[in-house]
Amino acid sequence: MGLPRFGPPNPKAVVGDDGGDSKTKKTNRVISSPNLYVANCGPAVGLSHDAIASVFASFGHVRGVYAADDSGARVIVCYDNDSCAAAALSALHGRPCPQLASRTLHIRSSVLQPSPTTVNSSSVQVCLSASETAIPGLYLLPDFVTPHEQQELLAAVDARPWISLAKRRVQHYGYQFCYQTRNVNTKQHLGALPSFVSPVLERVLSFPNLSDATDLSLDQLTVNEYPPGVGLSPHIDTHSAFEGLIFSLSLAGPCIMEFRRYTQGAWFPKACSSIDTESESPENGTNFIRKAIYLPPRSMLLLSGEARFAWHHYIPHHKIDIVNDSVIKRSSRRVSFTLRKVRTGPCQCQFPQYCDSQR
């Protein structure tokens, strides 16, 4: 089902007289629109976008069904013309719909605020394995640590001081990571990695898809704690800062990680910007290839080769994630352990268009 020509709808749509939740602007005007705001309807209540589209298609061609916000229970249905939308509103509003689990739908006309720079999270398939993404160098191992080991790791970091950033908390070991420069100062060594991470380092040595000659002397650990709704903006870990293997262990909660490869080369953020911000990159969906993968708790992700050097990765700022029409609420916290090896010389990778050492 294709996107509207103006791009997916902005969640802050203008709706007719009663308007729904506090995230929408309200108006008492009688409006005519080919688009409908539908509440009590969506993946969070067990209704897929395809199922919703099939019901509303009885009144005319449906151009798309999109999440109205991050609740998973409100959608925007887009028709070709006003008359189809008016017919659906008249027939379905305020009545139980047998084809949609007999849920009572609350419908209003919606005037979309066109936002061609918005990327619709439902427009990319969320993969459950790294092989499905077809990104060279990307690997995911589920159940990398046991539930008991997970609790031990969380207890260990919670017993140590956290550094508070704008939206999340972090800890650094081995070397301090500077978010302003996105680099490390190799002259400021913080000491060896803590003993609580030793079992993880030992297990990494047997990670599949690595050659025997690979240098696995990882010496930098960043621990991130993400509250619900907090993610990371698209970025590539600075080539000149770290070597070619990046391991990321997910603990306590799940998330979706998305990847972008820009077709015109790398997008380099401003040096003073923060990877905590919700939108730092040009969001023109035509200038990059987009992939997504689901990271369950206790899984280990490896970025190597092309996945590490050429693909931006990021975590959408959502409170829920939709994985193949299933709604997965983010837990009260997600903690990640990112393990890397600090680079001591310039990067000489095979991806110069993405490399700060070779720019």
Q: Tell me the pLDDT band of 103, cut-offs 50, 70 and 90.
A: very high
Q: What is the mean pLDDT of the chain?
A: 82
Contacts of 3 (CB under 8 A, 6+ apart): 64, 120, 123
280 pLDDT above the threshold of 70: no
7 pLDDT above the threshold of 60: no
**192: its two tokens:** 């060896």
Task: Note the residue count of the chain.
Answer: 359
pLDDT per residue as tens digits for the range 132-186 = 999 999 999 999 999 999 999 999 999 999 999 988 999 999 999 988 888 898 8
Q: Picking from 136-140, 213-217, 328-332, 350-354, which range would have the lowest pLDDT averaged per residue?
A: 213-217
Q: Is 259:290 a contact under the CB 8 Å cutoff?
A: yes
Q: Tell me the pLDDT band of 187, cut-offs 50, 70 and 90.
A: confident
**183: its two tokens:** 């680099």
Report the phi/psi class of residue 68: left, alpha or beta, with left for phi > 0 and alpha for psi in -120 to 50.
alpha
Nearest CA-CA partner of 221 in 181, 192, 244? 192
Q: Tell me the pLDDT band of 274, cut-offs 50, 70 and 90.
A: very low
With the CA atoms of 236, 237, 238 and 239 taken in that order, what torsion angle do they form, in degrees rounded to the nearest 10? -90
| pLDDT reported for residue 215 | 67
CA atoms 140, 144, 147, 151: torsion sign: negative
CATH of domain 31-112: 3.30.70.330
Highest mean pLDDT out of 90-104, 199-213, 283-297? 90-104
C-alpha–C-alpha distance, residues 153 and 230, integer Å: 21
Q: Tell me the pLDDT band of 23, cut-offs 50, 70 and 90.
A: very low
Contacts of 74 (CB under 8 A, 6+ apart): 20, 21, 37, 38, 39, 40, 41, 42, 67, 68
Nearest CA-CA partner of 240 in 63, 108, 358? 358
pLDDT per residue as tens digits for the range 28-65 = 445 678 999 999 988 778 888 889 999 999 999 998 88
C-alpha–C-alpha distance, residues 211 and 27, integer Å: 62
Q: How does DSSP classify residue 329?
A: E
pLDDT per residue as tens digits for the range 111-140 = 764 333 333 444 588 999 999 999 999 999
C-alpha–C-alpha distance, residues 235 and 238, integer Å: 8
351 pLDDT above the threshold of 60: yes
Q: How does DSSP classify residue 327?
A: E
Specify the higher pLDDT residue, 200 or 270: 200
Q: Which fold has domain 126-207+215-266+286-354?
A: Jelly Rolls (2.60.120)
With the CA atoms of 261, 265, 270 and 275 taken in that order, what torsion angle do they form, in degrees rounded to the nearest 10? 10
Q: How does DSSP classify residue 342?
A: B
Give the residue extent of every domain in the chain: 31-112, 126-207+215-266+286-354
- How deeply is 50 buried, as exposed, middle or buried, from its count of CB atoms within 10 A (0-12, 13-18, 19+)? exposed
| pLDDT reported for residue 33 | 87
92 pLDDT above the threshold of 50: yes
